[in-house]
Structure 1
Amino acid sequence: MPDAKNPWLGLDGARIVVAGGSGTIGAALVSGFETAGATVGNIDLNPQHGAVRVTADLTTAQAGRDAIAQAREELGGLDVFVHAVGINDRRPIEAYDDADWERFIAINLTSAFATAQAALPQMREQGHGRIVFFSSVAGRSGHKLHGPYAATKGAINQLMRVMAHEHAQDGVTVNAVAPGYMDTELTRDYLDANPDKRAALVDLIPARRFGQLEEVVGPVLFLASRQASFITGQVLYIDGGRTVV
């Protein structure tokens, strides 16, 4: 059936779940998918956007699986799942304790594993589906003060590749986007507290600026679309050239 809103993407009528759809990027994703004609479910601690809103604390695996089941039931199915849940806390390795490490693993990694695992069965059975994880340039590069964060994002990259390999024959694609420095609320808060860091961060980016929200939303919608049916197991860096150097 033609997509009157955007025939190229083919997302009109798609049933989409965004985990973390109330953050700055997550909310932009929900809006972007809705503009493309999709029906969107938002899983978050305080979901404020989306046609279906599921309140959940994704720090436990079972909570993640239950949230996906609820969103899928209320949407009447599931075609696309985007995991956009994550935290960061910039400190030297020695400054993190066991509780810090476990919190990073629970929020950034366990939530990704459990929710994506729960999203897979219907996608496999219906013979099509899209899963997109949010990684980071820190999952590739050894940035200082990003120890647990970088470890979880590197793990997500590998989880994504294995899932992509296992389910390519089922018509399910699994990819990741890896933003660099973006103009988000978290970045602004960090720079407000550390104004001397702005010039140094911009100097790391060949494009000489931070990325904008729409520059993340577009690539995610593409990977979720019918146009990306032969792309799987890939990390798409959205970084203004940060990982080129």
Structure 2
Amino acid sequence: MNIPSFHLNGKVALVTGGSKGIGYGMAHALGHYGATLVISSRGREEGEYAVSQLKKEKIEASYLPCDVTKKDQVEALVGQIVEQHGSLDILVNNAGMNIRKPLPEVEESDWDTVLDVNLKGIFLAGQAAAKQMIKQKYGKIINISSILGSVGMPFQTSYAASKGGINQLTKVWADELAPYNITVNAIGPGYISTPMTKEWLSDPERSEKIINSTMIKRIGETSDLVGPVVFFASDTSKYVTGQVLNVDGGWTAR
């Protein structure tokens, strides 16, 4: 039996929003398994610092700035990657943000901001990557969703809507791109300890409630996403597409 490898040697991977938090953790994992990394984000200083840290571990990485809500910037980003590296094999479609407010207080601008980054940005990056992957007849698209794409929680109107949209995009793209040897899957993290969630999790009562909602009884760490992202990025998952894998300590299984 031919057993596929988890190694990503020779593969070129783009991680949007890869300079910190979940994005950085997944970028580090892909680099550790041999991928040539490109990290993109809006913050050049953070992006270049992230690359410097990766290079200290002998991981081949570079930074390219991009606002994923701007179609011209996203298309230019993919073009630069292909020009520099010859291909784009893996997209970790991760860039995202949140504005937490009770429903009556959600401004139209709040909704637009979150949906622009979390859903339009996912669409634009996925579309640009797919165009290249179709030419290659190969690709791995990994959309970063959330458990809030499938369960409800207060104060998450725009965020949950965006993540539910990502889950549906994942299924549609998987069906559409399968003839081109492109798989499309999503990872739905539960609460992971990152700079974006630090303030939210600093409330002891809230943190305890979140912990008690999981079977494993702890907050997630970025290291908990290493296995899922490497699995979806490697050829070990070549018969898996259109799936949303919740990495949540058992939250959604209750």
Q: Determine if contact 1:139/1:154 at 8 Å carries over to the other structure.
A: yes
1:156 equivalent in structure 2? 166
Q: Deviations over 1:89-132 (max 9, x none)?
A: 22111111111111011110111101110001221122211000
Q: How do 1:1-245 residues align onto structure 2 when only pairs under 5 Å count?
A: 8-46=5-43, 47-48=47-48, 49-50=50-51, 51-192=61-202, 194-245=203-254
Q: Determine if contact 1:179/1:238 at 8 Å carries over to the other structure.
A: yes
Q: Deviations over 1:166-215 (max 9, x none)?
A: 011110000000000112222222222x2321111111111111112111
Q: TM-score, with normalisation over the residues of structure 2? A: 0.89
How far apart, CA to CA, are the structure 2 residues paired with 1:187 and 1:100?
A: 18
Q: Determine if contact 1:133/1:160 at 8 Å carries over to the other structure.
A: yes
State the secondary structure of the residue aligned to 1:185.
coil
Amino acid aligned to 1:153? K
Specify every segment of 5 or more residues in structure 2 that has no aligned partner in the other structure, as ranges.
Answer: 52-60
Specify every segment of 5 or more residues in structure 1 that has no aligned partner in the other structure, as ranges.
Answer: 1-6
Aligned pair count?
238
Amino acid aligned to 1:239? D
146-155 or 56-65: bigger deviation: 56-65
State the secondary structure of the residue aligned to 2:188.
strand
1:4 equivalent in structure 2? none
Q: TM-score, with normalisation over the residues of structure 1? A: 0.93
**How far apart are 1:10 and its partner, in Å?**
3.1
State the secondary structure of the residue aligned to 1:220.
helix
How far apart, CA to CA, are the structure 1 residues paired with 2:205 and 2:194?
A: 18
Amino acid aligned to 1:232? T
How far apart, CA to CA, are the structure 2 residues paired with 1:202 and 1:165?
A: 36
Q: Determine if contact 1:134/1:178 at 8 Å carries over to the other structure.
A: yes
Q: CA RMSD in A?
A: 1.4
**How far apart are 1:84 and its partner, in Å?**
0.8
How far apart, CA to CA, are the structure 2 residues paired with 1:238 and 1:174?
A: 17
44-53 or 211-220: bigger deviation: 44-53
State the secondary structure of the residue aligned to 2:142.
strand
Q: Deviations over 1:112-153 (max 9, x none)?
A: 101110001221122211000000000001111111000000
How far apart, CA to CA, are the structure 2 residues paired with 1:95 and 1:23?
A: 29
How far apart, CA to CA, are the structure 2 residues paired with 1:218 and 1:72?
A: 27
